[in-house]
Amino acid sequence: MGKIVDRLLLLLYSLIIFVASILVLFTASSWIPFEQAGQTLHNFYYEKNYAYPAIIISLIMLVISIRFLILTLRRGRAQAPSIDQRTDFGDIRISIETVENLSLKAAGRTKGSKDLRARVRVNQSGLEITIRTIVDGESSIPELTEEMQSTVKSYIEDITGIPVASVTVFVANIVQSAPTFKSRVE
């Protein structure tokens, strides 16, 4: 939701800057007569019908500018979520995305599973890995999920050296086979 609001704010901000740039360009190029520019400036000073909307638009632009400035500074310091380890030779950082892809690779070795998705959370006791899958419906689901849990746990611990606290397998559905049609002979 926040990204949608930021995109709308950026669109509004861009449109207002576009119009302001056109006005400045026309005024600086003398395409807007001096008398008309002077009259408009006079109206901003003495007519409240001109001044109040200008004040409101200026305040909105100021708030949007501050919002974009904060987003820019905050995202500049942010780094991809990772798991940090210290060794005798230095630090190792493994991204969460890497662990998710390793989990998918290990889970893909289990026969009878399709459409895999992984989510990894870091806990004090180790990694909590959730695998979402669709199974073929031909194999025993408890055996398939147990094999997948074991494979993923040992693979992640061997490759990354990070302890795995739990592997949860969520079976979302079974693979729907295409309906077979019998041909009719008359």
**Which of 74, 75, 80 is closest to 93 using CA atoms?**
80
pLDDT, residue 118, reads 94
The answer to whether residues 108 and 136 belong to one domain is yes
Is residue 162 exposed (0-12), middle (13-18) or buried (19+ Cβ within 10 Å)?
middle
The answer to whether residues 116 and 165 belong to one domain is yes
- Mean predicted confidence (pLDDT) in 146-175: 93
CA distances from 58 to 33, 61, 97, 122 (A): 24, 5, 42, 45
The fraction of the chain above a pLDDT of 90, given in percent, is 34
The answer to whether residues 46 and 87 belong to one domain is no
pLDDT, residue 76, reads 52
Is 151 a domain residue?
Answer: yes
The answer to whether residues 92 and 56 belong to one domain is no
- Mean predicted confidence (pLDDT) in 119-133: 92
Asked whether residue 149 carries a pLDDT value surpassing 90, the answer given is yes
The answer to whether residues 69 and 94 belong to one domain is no
pLDDT, residue 181, reads 62
165: Cβ contacts below 8 Å, ≥ 6 apart: 123, 125, 126, 127, 128
The answer to whether residues 34 and 117 belong to one domain is no
For the four alpha carbons of 59, 61, 66 and 67, in that order, the dihedral sign comes to positive
Which of 62, 77, 92 marks a domain boundary?
Answer: 77
Asked whether residue 108 carries a pLDDT value surpassing 60, the answer given is yes
pLDDT, residue 123, reads 87
Out of 25-34, 74-83, 109-118, 134-143, least confident range:
74-83
Is 185 a domain residue?
Answer: no
The fraction of the chain above a pLDDT of 70, given in percent, is 90
pLDDT, residue 185, reads 66
Question: Is pTM, for the whole model, over 0.85?
Answer: no
**Which of 132, 129, 120, 139 is closest to 173 using CA atoms?**
132
Give the DSSP letter string of 143-176. HHHHHHHHHHHHHHHHHH---EEEEEEEEEEEPP
Q: Are 175 and 135 in contact (CB under 8 A)?
A: yes
**CATH code, 97:** 3.30.70.1350
Q: 3-class SS at 113?
A: strand
- pLDDT-derived band of residue 147, with 50, 70 and 90 as boundaries? very high
Asked whether residue 126 carries a pLDDT value surpassing 80, the answer given is yes
Query: How many CA within 13 A on the CB side of residue 146?
Result: 5
pLDDT (tens digit, 9 = 90+) per residue, 79-96?
668 888 888 888 888 999
The answer to whether residues 104 and 88 belong to one domain is yes
- Structural domain tally of the chain? 2
The answer to whether residues 45 and 120 belong to one domain is no
Asked whether residue 2 carries a pLDDT value surpassing 80, the answer given is no
Domain enclosing residue 47, as ranges? 2-77
The answer to whether residues 69 and 107 belong to one domain is no
The answer to whether residues 29 and 112 belong to one domain is no
pLDDT, residue 119, reads 94
**Which of 121, 101, 132 is closest to 166 using CA atoms?**
121
- Mean predicted confidence (pLDDT) in 23-50: 88
pLDDT, residue 28, reads 86
The answer to whether residues 70 and 119 belong to one domain is no
The answer to whether residues 68 and 109 belong to one domain is no
Is 184 a domain residue?
Answer: no
- Mean predicted confidence (pLDDT) in 10-34: 88
Which of 77, 98, 117 marks a domain boundary?
Answer: 77
